[in-house]
Structure 1
Amino acid sequence: MTDKTPHPAIGGNWASLLLPIAADDGIEFDKLGEEIDILVEAGVDGIYSNGTSGEFHNQTEEEFDRIQAMLAERCKVSSTPFVIGACQPDPLIMLNRVRRAAALDARAIQVILPDWWPLSDAEAVDFLKRAADTADGIPLILYNPPHAKRVLAPQELGAVCGGVPEVIGIKLADGDDSWYAEARRHLSGLSLFVPGHHLATGIREGVAAGAFSNVACLSPRGAQIWTASMRNDIDAALDLERRICAFMDAHIVPFRRDLGYSNAALDKLLSAIGNWGPVGTRLRFPYRSIDAAEAVRLRPIAHSLLPDLFP
């Protein structure tokens, strides 16, 4: 696939906007504004809203609009790039979110493939073309995570996105050496966002443009410094990646694997471990939240194993 997009590339370390949730399940918008200001001050390459960890699947349309307006206003004041996630399992609701997001002049708009019934390749192309038309000149990023109803291989992604030049990037899970070879073969014209804790590997393989990063959930400033280091000392960056993955495997993944918590719960736990902002660990009902005491327990372990991330 050749790069047909007229839009400039997008990449780097992007921090997820996490929703501070009150005990009554309301969004604490004052804390959300404080969080945005902290992420801007950390100097991240960009902020994105309404990924899985932003609980896009569990908010009203009025709340969606208020979140995006707050993000856009504060990022524009500081000239911080931002991406709006218009994701929603219902295609009509998602297209309406795309339309409203386009008016805010984001760097890009992120969408998923409608998720109640998996789309065929032809249906996926049709949907992305409609989303691109609705976005009115704002480029798209396709979010195709491991928990999607249909996870597309690199060749399938190349075929689906190749006919929609407005799709400039994909957020996805990476894989082994053969996956990276397939990504180089079929996705060279797209900005690929790999999992944050695999970013150094993705850079070394010549595939990753950046990450919508779980490492930035743990430490926005530390993740930014690590990302910058990949340009000058990839071996040191890979060493830190190995330690990050070891920490995740030993102390974070068991909450999902053994106790059944969601990925959003894990990312909020990381944020509470990093203790950099007012997010907390609470998710909206009916999703279960990890006790904040676990963050207190894991905080010294993270600082001991990953001092590079806490400058």
Structure 2
Amino acid sequence: MNKLTAETLKGNWATLLLPIKPDESIDFALLEDEIDSLIDAGVDGIYSNGTAGEFHNQTEAEFDQISLLLAEKCNQTSTPFQIGCSHPAPIISLERLTRIAHLNPDAVQLILPDWVITNDEEQISFLKKMESYAQGIPLVLYNPPHAKLELKPRDYFKLKNEVPSLIGIKVLSKDEQWVMEMKAFASHLAIFVPGHFLAKGVESGVASGAYSNVACINPVAAQKCWELTQGNLEEALRIENNILKFFDRCIAPYQKRGYSNPALDKFLAAVGGYIKIPTKLRWPYKWISEDEVLSARKTAKQLIPEFF
């Protein structure tokens, strides 16, 4: 495949969710089905081992098996894919990158080292070394608000000349001041936002696409929402406003009760019913009971019928 660039990295990208069995092992048969369903949905791309993919709670053998499975299926179908090589420990992140480079992903995703917060010099050192081991594969930096260090817009400009293979970032879109600063300091990057803020991100002129939690509900509908942002933004904004109402009623209460982003994303998948995996997370993390799905699905069908 052709490697992605800041200009070509766009659209609705779906995350792999990790199917966990009652015995805490990964259900690789279900994972295969999940990848097939995302490919059939026609999303712009698939990525593995993001936060929702529980990259922080895998063995290295499991990471390798997940990465190989995704690469084989996507290469067979010419589906763009990214592999998340993130890990709180930088040396393990580097080892992950080294082991998957031969799989030829269109990009790799990284987080900054997470246990000890990095300063400006250490951030550049980390990314430059990752770049040197990536064998020409472009880099995407995950920096959502739950990162220990949330970068400011001007920080991305500092990285511009030091790490030329950095083509994109995943962030949470914010207020008008943030939009102005991102346009000033990060316009050289593909800026990706969460799926439920994609239309507003496109309207502001900042967002190139979404690593999409909304695709967990229904990747086909999420893809159509992205396409609407390119031709009928008013309709995309209307649907997004209803998505936000659904999130406010059915997702925010769980967030306030301390459920993690992976738990919320798996619950979204259960509500939508398109991706057939359990809501269970790996120990020690708690998940939302599947007994609570039907009530949320009823509300979702009322507010966002396009997803059913």
TM bin (shorter chain): over 0.9
Give the Cα separation in 2 of the matches to 1:176 and 1:145: 15
On the 8 A contact 2:279/2:290 being kept in 1, the answer is: yes
On the 8 A contact 2:139/2:165 being kept in 1, the answer is: yes
Give the Cα separation in 1 of the matches to 2:246 and 2:271: 12
Q: CA deviation at 1:161?
A: 4.2
On the 8 A contact 2:108/2:139 being kept in 1, the answer is: yes
Q: CA deviation at 1:157?
A: 2.1
- Let me know the Cα RMSD of the aligned residues: 1.2
Q: CA deviation at 1:158?
A: 2.1
Counterpart residue identity of residue 115, structure 2: W
Q: CA deviation at 1:6?
A: 6.7
Cα deviations by residue, 1:194-242 (Å, 9 ceiling, x for unpaired) = 1110000111111111000000011101000110011111111111111
Alignment map for 1:1-311 (pairs within 5 Å): 9-257=8-256, 259-310=257-308
Give the Cα separation in 2 of the matches to 1:284 and 1:7: 34
Q: CA deviation at 1:105?
A: 0.4
Give the Cα separation in 1 of the matches to 2:242 and 2:120: 38
TM-score in terms of structure 2 length: 0.97
Q: SS of the residue aligned with 2:210?
A: strand
On the 8 A contact 2:138/2:166 being kept in 1, the answer is: yes
Cα deviations by residue, 1:117-143 (Å, 9 ceiling, x for unpaired) = 110011101100000011110000000
Q: Number of residue pairs matched?
A: 305
Moved more, 29-38 or 277-286: 277-286
Percent same amino acid among aligned pairs?
Answer: 49
Give the Cα separation in 1 of the matches to 2:98 and 2:49: 15
Q: CA deviation at 1:46?
A: 0.4
Give the Cα separation in 2 of the matches to 1:235 and 1:7: 26
Cα deviations by residue, 1:53-91 (Å, 9 ceiling, x for unpaired) = 000000000000000000000111111100000000000
Aligned pair in 2 of structure 1 residues 6, 69: CA closer, same or farther (>3 Å)? closer
Give the Cα separation in 2 of the matches to 1:8 and 1:239: 27
Q: CA deviation at 1:253?
A: 1.3
Moved more, 294-303 or 128-137: 294-303
On the 8 A contact 1:101/1:109 being kept in 2, the answer is: no
Q: SS of the residue aligned with 1:14?
A: strand
Moved more, 260-269 or 299-308: 299-308
TM-score in terms of structure 1 length: 0.96
Q: CA deviation at 1:101?
A: 1.9
Counterpart residue identity of residue 294, structure 1: E
Unaligned runs of 5+ in 1: none
Give the Cα separation in 2 of the matches to 1:73 and 1:272: 26
Give the Cα separation in 1 of the matches to 2:136 and 2:6: 9
Unaligned runs of 5+ in 2: none
Give the Cα separation in 1 of the matches to 2:80 and 2:23: 32
